[in-house]
């Protein structure tokens, strides 16, 4: 992905690649209001939440026009915009300086603007406005989206100069991603635009254009268009009685449970957390110090794309919610201690990802990837801080749950009274394998021991090679960690401390290391290393309805997935829960609130709880 090559014709931003200007020379915000924002007036009084999507984010003028409209309106805007060549921050600043309009909003956009790397970037612009910036070509991004927009803004450069933005396939996807009765607005009334809108199922009206332009297109979707790709991974339908604040009960008060609680509470839920132990963050989230860094794969590998999305969301979440007392954004280093890793890191060179990842092959003792935005964290302290504002019930060990006739869910605990809820979320870390043993969710528990030593390695940023080393905090330096699948021993072991020291022996003289403590935790991993995030599927339905997937997987006769109503999981985060738990929280929010997804649909599928079962059925194994 390349950044936009911007030049200025007078004060107007110009793109030489397309030989076109970004917007009109004379008061472009008036055209933005007239052509695009005005479309919402037609449905303004009918709803409180709007999903608006756009082809061509450019400088975000249409987005800022809408921000103005939604500011102080009490209504919510979720704006999704696609951009193949994002404009660099300094160019954005110049464009708005020249415009002399939207100064405060533009400054805010520049401040929150994501790094210009491929993928979906969720930006919480204000309490009521969310922006999903999707960086990539329109035809790469559209198949990865899954929502029903109220209004689409088609704002590519002129069809004669930018054919790819107005292809037949683009219109088909836009129809799939529009609710029945939803609209498309565009300044263009070119023949191909008119014809393709109609062929995609829109009723087209040509309206008076802005200023000297004779006409513009206003189109309404008259027949809904469903394409049932991978129906076994279809989004769940949430059914909530929103007449009162719905209740959410979250099982488990580690970082995944707490982040999910924050997300749902922010969106009007009455949230309770139920924790088996007497404190928060007693297991995987409870270390003295932890590292916030993504797993880096080659750029096109789904596991790594998911981790990068999760990392960037986590950075934004912690930056906005946590002070330096809990997290220090020092950056961090991932050393390539073998050839394979070095090749993998090197493959980022052409990705234009320097804003986050820079590779230096001449660093000692190994070539190194520097990760900007990386941080070291005080996980337990952070969890305690988050929990302060939440309702946490301790000594509540989950036993079972059942669905009541009125749509609620009744949850039983060992040694505590049952609770009723509308939404139930499992964030049960290493206990998940036991809780879901009846389902085909392939999980295992991994014992990990970290070692606390007196400060020995002088580093201000955490780094990782065979093992990892954190900067010292309060006279303790944490190094780690061992990895023992399905081993259970709560006592710390000397041989594990020795293993931790030997794994970082290039960076310290282990004879000088004075061990002052160790901590054992259990992390939950899935068999394919992706976390398990989303709605809990109906095992019986899947086994019955998809039993012949070996034969029928390419047919379009398969029924749509069925889920346990309003039950979700945010589990199997392994050793990177500080990152992926935040992605899990946002995704569960997306499902519950019917928002666009904060990650590509193919990656959402990779996180799906039924993927293990679906894979087996597709292979035809009984």
The residue of the chain with the least Cβ separation from ligand SAM equals: 58
CA-to-CA dists, residue 68 to 32, 62, 75, 195, 428, angstroms: 12, 10, 12, 33, 42
> How far is Cα 250 from Cα 570, in angstroms, rounded to an integer?
10
Nearest Cα neighbor of 32 from 220, 194, 216 is 216
Is 254 a binder of ligand SAM (CB under 6 A)?
A: no
Q: Candidates 121-129, 160-168, 286-294, 507-515: pick the segment binding ligand SAM (CB under 6 A).
A: 160-168
* Complex with ligand SAM: residue 139 or 303, whichever CB lies closer: 139
Site for ligand SAM in 56-75 (CB under 6 A): 56-62
Return the range that interacts with ligand SAM (CB under 6 A); candidates 55-63, 286-294, 366-374, 426-434.
55-63
**Choices 159-167, 342-350, 367-375, 496-504 (CB under 6 A): range interacting with ligand SAM:** 159-167
Binding segment toward ligand SAM, per CB under 6 A, in 81-89, 305-313, 430-438, 492-500:
81-89
- Shortest spacing between CB 514 and ligand SAM, in angstroms: 57
Q: Using CB under 6 A, which of the segments 151-159, 313-321, 341-349, 373-381 binds ligand SAM?
A: 151-159
User: Residue 65 is encoded by which pair of tokens?
Assistant: 């026009």
Task: Using CB under 6 A, pick the residue from 37, 82, 131, 433 that binds ligand SAM.
Answer: 82
Kindly report each contact of residues 511-515 with a partner whose C-beta sits within 8 Å and lies 24 or more positions away, as own/partner: 512/456, 513/453, 513/454, 513/456, 514/453, 514/454, 514/456, 515/451, 515/452, 515/453
CB of 69 or CB of 401, closer to ligand SAM: 69
Which of 159, 373 has the CB closer to ligand SAM?
Answer: 159
CB–CB of 419/426 below 8 Å?
Answer: no
Q: How many residues does the chain have?
A: 622
Closest approach of ligand SAM to the CB of residue 353, in Å: 18
Identify the residue among 39, 115, 119, 156 touching ligand SAM (CB under 6 A): 156
CB of 611 to ligand SAM, least distance (A): 30
CA distance 172 to 168: 6
Of 59 and 549, nearer to ligand SAM (C-beta) is 59
Among positions 110, 123, 164, 220, the unique one binding ligand SAM when judged by CB under 6 A: 164
Residue among 32 and 272 whose Cβ is closer to ligand SAM:
32
**Segment 119-148, which members bind ligand SAM (CB under 6 A)?**
137-138
Tell me the CA distances in angstroms from 75 to 106, 129, 159, one per residue in order: 21, 9, 33
Contact by Cβ (8 Å): 145, 177: yes
Minimum Å distance from CB 140 to ligand SAM? 8
Cα angle 483, 486, 488; round to 5:
90
The alpha carbon dihedral of 586, 589, 595, 597 has a sign of: positive
Is 382 one of the binding residues for ligand SAM (CB under 6 A)? no
Residues 198-217 that bind ligand SAM (CB under 6 A): none
Q: Which is nearer to ligand SAM, 19 or 338 (CB)?
A: 19
Binding mask 10-39 for ligand SAM (x = CB under 6 A): ------------xx----------------
CA distance 246 to 227: 31
Secondary structure class of 612 (helix, strand, coil): helix
Residues 6+ apart with CB under 8 A from 25: 10, 11, 12
Q: Which residues ranging from 556 to 595 are in contact with ligand SAM (CB under 6 A)?
A: none
Rg (CA), the chain: 25
- Order of strands across the sheet with 375-377? 290-292, 375-377, 327-328
> Nearest distance from residue 83's CB to ligand SAM, in Å?
5
Q: How far is the CB of 131 from ligand SAM (least distance, A)?
A: 12
* In the complex, minimum distance from the CB of residue 614 to ligand SAM, in angstroms, rounded to a whole number: 31
Q: Residue 357, SS3? A: strand
Tell me whether residue 6 or residue 314 sits nearer to ligand SAM (CB atom).
6
Q: Which of residues 85-124 bind ligand SAM (CB under 6 A)?
A: 85
CB 174 within 8 A of CB 184: yes
Q: Which is nearer to ligand SAM, 96 or 366 (CB)?
A: 96
- What are the angstrom distances between the C-alpha of 497 and each of 109, 227, 379, 449? 47, 54, 21, 8
Smallest gap from Cβ 264 to ligand SAM, in A, equals: 32
Select the span of 39-47, 153-161, 214-222, 528-536 touching ligand SAM (CB under 6 A).
Answer: 153-161
What residues does 120 pair with on adjacent strands?
A: 134
Name the residue nearer to ligand SAM (CB basis): 79 or 348.
Answer: 79
Instruction: Kindly tell me which of 157 and 210 has the beta carbon lying closer to ligand SAM.
Output: 157
Specify the DSSP element, H or E, that contains 335: strand 332-335
Can you tell me the distance from the alpha carbon of 330 to that of 460, in angstroms, rounded to the nearest whole number? 7
The interface region with ligand SAM, picked from 82-90, 103-111, 430-438, 528-536 by CB under 6 A, is: 82-90
Mark 361-382 as b/e (b = at least 16 C-beta within 10 Å): eeeeebbbbbbbbbbbbbbbbb
Interaction with ligand SAM in 531-560: which residues (CB under 6 A)? Answer: none
Nearer to ligand SAM, 24 or 410 (CB): 24
In 3D space, the residue among 487, 446, 452, 480 whose CA is nearest the CA of residue 466 turns out to be 480
The structure tokens listed for 2 are 């390349």
Say how far apart CA 336 and CA 331 lie, in whole Å: 16
Number of residues engaging ligand SAM in binding (CB under 6 A) = 22
Q: How far is the CB of 4 from ligand SAM (least distance, A)?
A: 5
> Any idea what DSSP says for residue 584?
H
* CB closer to ligand SAM, 103 vs 325: 103
Minimum CB distance to ligand SAM smaller for 165 or for 411: 165
> Least distance from C-beta 80 to ligand SAM, angstroms?
13
- Angstrom distance (rounded) from CA 584 to CA 307: 12
Choose between 152 and 157: whose C-beta lies nearer to ligand SAM.
Answer: 157
Smallest gap from residue 21 Cβ to ligand SAM (A): 8
- Cβ burial of 226 (10 Å; 0-12, 13-18, 19+) is exposed
Binding residues for ligand SAM, per CB under 6 A? 4, 22-23, 56-62, 82-85, 137-138, 155-157, 162, 164-165
């Amino acid at each position: 992905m390349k950044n936009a090559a911007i030049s200025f014709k007078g004060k107007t931003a110009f793109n030489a690649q397309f030989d076109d200007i970004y917007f009109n020379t004379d008061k472009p915000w008036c055209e933005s209001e007239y052509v695009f924002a005005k479309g919402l007036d037609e449905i303004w009084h009918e709803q409180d939440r709007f999903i608006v999507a756009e082809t061509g984010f450019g400088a975000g003028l249409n987005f800022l026009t809408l921000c103005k409209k939604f500011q102080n309106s009490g209504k919510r805007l979720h704006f999704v915009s696609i951009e193949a060549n994002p404009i660099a921050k300094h160019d954005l600043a110049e464009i708005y300086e020249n415009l002399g309009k939207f100064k405060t909003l533009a400054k805010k956009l520049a401040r929150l603007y994501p790094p210009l790397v491929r993928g979906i970037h969720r930006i919480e612009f204000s309490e009521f406005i969310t922006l999903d910036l999707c960086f990539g070509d329109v035809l790469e991004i559209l198949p990865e989206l899954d929502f029903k927009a109220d209004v689409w803004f088609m704002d590519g450069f002129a069809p004669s100069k930018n054919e790819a933005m107005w292809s037949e396939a683009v219109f088909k996807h836009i129809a799939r991603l529009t609710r029945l009765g939803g609209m498309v607005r565009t300044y263009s009334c070119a023949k191909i635009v008119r014809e393709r809108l109609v062929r995609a199922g829109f009723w087209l009206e040509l309206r008076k254009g802005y200023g000297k332009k004779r006409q513009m297109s206003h189109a309404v979707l008259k027949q809904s268009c469903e394409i049932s790709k991978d129906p076994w991974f279809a989004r769940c339908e949430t059914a909530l009685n929103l007449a009162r604040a719905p209740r959410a009960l979250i099982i488990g008060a580690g970082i995944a449970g707490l982040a999910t609680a924050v997300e749902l509470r922010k969106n009007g839920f009455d949230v309770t957390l139920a924790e088996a132990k007497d404190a928060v963050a007693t297991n995987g989230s409870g270390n003295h110090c932890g590292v916030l860094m993504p797993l880096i794969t080659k750029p096109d590998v789904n596991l790594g794309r998911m981790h990068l999305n999760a990392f960037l969301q986590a950075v934004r979440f912690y930056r906005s919610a946590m002070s330096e007392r809990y997290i220090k954004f020092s950056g961090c280093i991932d050393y390539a201690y073998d050839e394979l890793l070095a090749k993998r890191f090197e493959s980022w060179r052409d990705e234009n990802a320097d804003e986050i990842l820079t590779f230096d092959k001449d660093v000692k003792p190994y070539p190194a990837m520097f990760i900007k935005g990386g941080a070291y964290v005080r996980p337990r302290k952070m969890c305690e801080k988050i929990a302060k504002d939440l309702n946490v019930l301790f000594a509540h060990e989950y036993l079972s749950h059942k669905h009541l006739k009125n749509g609620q869910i009744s949850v039983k605990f060992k040694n505590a009274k049952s609770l009723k809820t509308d939404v139930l979320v499992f964030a049960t870390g290493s206990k998940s394998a036991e809780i879901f043993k009846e389902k085909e969710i392939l999980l295992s528990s991994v014992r990990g021991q970290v070692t606390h030593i007196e400060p020995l390695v002088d580093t201000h940023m955490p780094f990782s090679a065979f093992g990892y080393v954190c900067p010292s905090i309060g006279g303790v330096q944490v190094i780690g960690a061992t990895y023992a699948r399905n081993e259970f021993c709560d006592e710390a072991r000397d041989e594990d401390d020795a293993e931790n020291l030997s794994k970082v022996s290039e960076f310290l003289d282990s004879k000088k290391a004075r061990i002052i403590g160790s901590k054992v935790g259990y992390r939950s991993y899935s068999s394919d290393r992706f976390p398990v995030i989303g709605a809990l599927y109906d095992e019986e339905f899947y086994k019955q309805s998809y039993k012949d997937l070996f034969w029928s997987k390419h047919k379009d006769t398969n029924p749509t997935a069925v889920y346990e109503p309003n039950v979700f999981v945010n589990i199997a985060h392994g050793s990177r829960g500080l990152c992926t738990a935040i992605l899990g929280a946002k995704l569960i929010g997306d499902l519950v609130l019917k928002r666009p997804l904060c990650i590509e649909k193919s990656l959402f599928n990779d996180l799906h709880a039924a993927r293990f079962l679906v894979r087996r059925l597709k292979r035809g194994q009984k």
